[in-house]
Amino acid sequence: MESSFSAFQQSLKNFNLPEFLGDWSQAPVCVPFLRKQPEGLLLPAARETPNGHAFLIFSNKERAAAEMEHFKPTKNSQVVLRTVALGEVARNAYMDGMKLAWHHEKDLGLITDEVVRILGSCASFADSNGQRRNYWCTPYRLNVDRLAGQGALIQSWLMVDINEDGSERESSELKVYDDRKFQMSSEDEGSLPRSSLTKREQALFDRWATPSYFDGYSRHRVSNGLTGYPEKSPAVSARDHAARLRESGVQSQQRNEGESALLPLAGLFFGIVAVTLVASFIIYSG
C-alpha cells in the first residue's frame, strides 16, 4: 500500500495521537541510501534544505527512482532504494539530529521536528484494563568504547496516563537503562532497569534503543580502529514533550531545477551533531 503525502497532511490537520501513530508509524515509504565503495558501507542519502540537512523519503520506489535521476551522488557512491516504515526513518532522524523531507509532485515537504519526534519517539497504547498511557522517549548514547554504536542504552521516559475524554490525568518521568549491558549506580535516583519493565514496555525500549544509521557508521569506524563518535543527545530538550504542531506539521518548498548534490550521511555528522550528554548518569561498565 502506497503512503500518500496528502493523506499524511490530512491526518495532521485532524490530529489525534493514537490514531496518527496507528496510521503512520508503520506506513511504508521509500528511502534512498548511498553505498560507499570500496568498503560497501550503506548510509541514507541526505539533502541540504533551508532548515538543515534532511533524510529523503518518497511514496514509492518508482517515484524515488525517477526523482533520483535529478540528483548527483558523491564520488564512489551508488544509490540503493529501500522501503522503510515511516516511524523507523523518523526515529533515526530524531536520534541522529536530522530533518525529514518528503518528495511529492513538484514540492518538497519538510516535516517539522515536532512531527518527527512524535513518529520516532512516542507511543500510545492501553493496558488490559483499558487505561491508555502515552510514552515519550528521549534517547541517549553512551560515550563508552565497548558500547559505541549500540544505540540508545539509556532513555528518559515521560509516561502520561490519559482519561477517557483524552485529557491528561497524571504523569511520571524516569530514566530507563539496559541492564543487560551495564549497571547504573544506586545513587542515581529515578532510574529503572529494562528487566523491571512489562514485556510490552521492553519491546518499546528495544525499538527506541535500536542502533541508528549513525550508529552503523560508528561501528564501521571502530572496526577500522578509528574513534567511534562524539557523545550526543538529541537537539530536543528532554522535557520538550508537549510541543504544539506548527500548522499542518509540514512546510512546502519548491524544488530547484537541475541536478542537486546528494550527500552521504557520514560526511554530515561531525558538523551538525550537538556534543552533549547528561552528566548525572553514573555507570558501572561491569
Q: Omega into 73 within 30° of 0, i.e. cis?
A: no
Q: Averaged over 52-81, what is the pLDDT?
A: 85
pLDDT by residue (tens digit) across 249-268? 444 444 443 334 444 443 33
**Res 187: pLDDT:** 54
pLDDT by residue (tens digit) across 15-43? 999 999 999 999 999 999 888 766 677 78
Q: Given pLDDT bands bounded at 50, 70 and 90, which one contains residue 1?
A: low
Please give the residue range of the domain that contains residue 270.
Answer: 5-284
Is residue 173 predicted with pLDDT exceeding 70? Answer: yes
Q: Given pLDDT bands bounded at 50, 70 and 90, which one contains residue 229?
A: very low
Q: What is the pTM of this model?
A: 0.78
pLDDT by residue (tens digit) across 271-281? 222 222 232 23
DSSP 153-184: -EEEEEEEEE-TTS-EEEEEEEEEE-TTT-EE
Could you give the percent of the chain with pLDDT greater than 70? 69
Is residue 115 predicted with pLDDT exceeding 80? Answer: yes
Mean model confidence pLDDT for the chain: 75
**Res 146: pLDDT:** 67
Are β-strands 260-264 and 71-73 bridged in parallel, bridged antiparallel, or unpaired? parallel
Number of domains the chain is built from? 1
pLDDT by residue (tens digit) across 201-224? 999 999 999 988 887 766 665 565
pLDDT by residue (tens digit) across 176-199? 999 998 887 655 667 899 999 999
Higher pLDDT, 67 or 86: 86
pLDDT by residue (tens digit) across 142-164? 766 666 677 888 999 999 999 88
Are β-strands 41-49 and 260-264 bridged in parallel, bridged antiparallel, or unpaired? antiparallel
DSSP 195-221: GGS-HHHHHHHHHHHS--HHHHHHHHH
